[in-house]
Amino acid sequence: MQPTKAPFSIPEYERRLSKTRAAMDAAGLDALFVTDPSNQAWLTGYDGWSFYVHQGVIVPKEGEPIWWGRHMDMLGGRRTCWMHHDNIIGYGDHYVQSTVCHPMEHLAEQLRAHGLDRGRIGVEMENYYYSAKAHEVLRNELPDAALSDATALVNWQRLIKSRDEIAFIRKAARISEKVMQTAIERAAPGVRKNDLVADILHAGITGVGDDWGDYPAILPLTPSGLDATAAHLTWDGSPMRPNEATFFELSGCYRRYHAPLCRTVFLGTPSDDVLRAEEAQLEGIAAGLEVARAGNRTCDIANTFMQVLANHGIERSGRMGYPIGLSYPPDWGERTASIRSEDETVLQPGMTFHFMPALWMDDWGLETTETILITEDGPAEPVCNVERKLFVKA
């Protein structure tokens, strides 16, 4: 029985499972244990704020995947996963934060019960949610199995979005437009930053029309002045001040799908340096979008943007974008391809990226970014519709 809260159809989940199993076969894996909550949701539909305890998805070579986690979260799995309830299993609370037993002991029992305690089992070793202790216990409990690093195996299968996923991203984009317009309209000298962020969060959670807003994987980043020379500061209770730039790095979220968007507001009269940087940045973004075409590579976007900056006498290095889609905290990126000079991932229709060529200078920061969709023909499509410029408010 399919639960009412599953966001996609069973055939869509079966398509994802087939892609994952093909990748498992290519990697020589007999089973896969997935702990990244984004990958869990992508494979099963599971959606709950429970990733602070051990949980995951077992993917055997055939049959339904198995969601495994805390017993109280197993009940949430029955409400959100597409599989039969027999394939949604839980462990007792005596395992939680215990010093005498570990949840991986229970996981090992389940793997043995399903005949998956031998051969090569893939695990996501470079992952926020899979601890060194978990790996050690699982390895000790499964002496006849070889635990193999399968970090990002599922992530790479998520790179090309289905039509249904793109529809969700477009819904998230409408919410992104709303939260950004809220930030731009409410920004003014004397406004406390925490009050402004409260308005932003309210706009995002109320959503647009019937499309309700979910919590974003990254909370609003809203630094001003010297704080905007850093990339990832959030907010405090200070009032906004004249003659400072504030960048807003925000995203609407619909059913865990994101469409990140950044714009910068300057309260007062920006300096010539800021205006020259804006001109170069906007020209570079337009040039980058033009080469963000199917058949080109992610590095082509980065190199094109940096060449425009160089023509304006501005030096910029490092990563300037990443794939986005379904995500949980602490990151809305998918942790696969990157828009940077070293990455030669070939662009294909259906890929979605946060093209994020921000500039962090000595005294100020300037973020203007787009979520882009790689199309069948022509340049990439920005999915959000907010004017691309530095917003100046006297």
44: its two tokens: 């099963």
Whether pLDDT at 40 is above 90: yes
Torsion angles phi and psi, residue 184, rounded to 5: -65, -45
- The tens digit of pLDDT for each residue in 146-157 reads 999 999 999 999
> Which pLDDT belongs to residue 81?
97
Q: What is the arithmetic mean of pLDDT over 337-357?
A: 98
Distance CA 141, CA 106 (A): 10
Q: What is the arithmetic mean of pLDDT over 378-382?
A: 98
Q: Is the peptide bond before 330 cis (omega within 30 degrees of 0)?
A: yes
> Which pLDDT belongs to residue 394?
80
* Distance (Å) of CA 152 to CA 134, 157, 337, 368, 375: 18, 9, 11, 28, 24
> Which pLDDT belongs to residue 341?
96
Global confidence as pTM: 0.96
| 3-state DSSP assignment of residue 5 | coil
CB 346 within 8 A of CB 297: yes
Grade residue 3 by pLDDT with cuts at 50, 70 and 90. Answer: low
b/e code 282-293 from CB counts within 10 Å (16+ = b)? eebbebbbebbb
Q: In whole angstroms, what separates CA 34 from the centre of its chain?
A: 16
Torsion angles phi and psi, residue 311, rounded to 5: -60, -25
Grade residue 212 by pLDDT with cuts at 50, 70 and 90. Answer: very high
List of long-range contacts for 62-69, beta carbons under 8 Å, 24+ apart: 65/17, 66/110, 66/114, 67/40, 68/107, 68/110
- The tens digit of pLDDT for each residue in 90-107 reads 999 999 999 999 999 999
Alpha helices (H) in 209-259, listed in sequence order: none
Distance CA 212, CA 172 (A): 9
Q: Residue 33's closest CA among 101, 96, 114, 95?
A: 114
**Tokens 């198995």 identify what position?**
66
Domains of the chain: residue spans and CATH: 10-157 (3.40.350.10), 163-393 (3.90.230.10)
Whether pLDDT at 206 is above 90: yes
CB 260 within 8 A of CB 173: no
> Which pLDDT belongs to residue 4?
58
Whether pLDDT at 2 is above 70: no
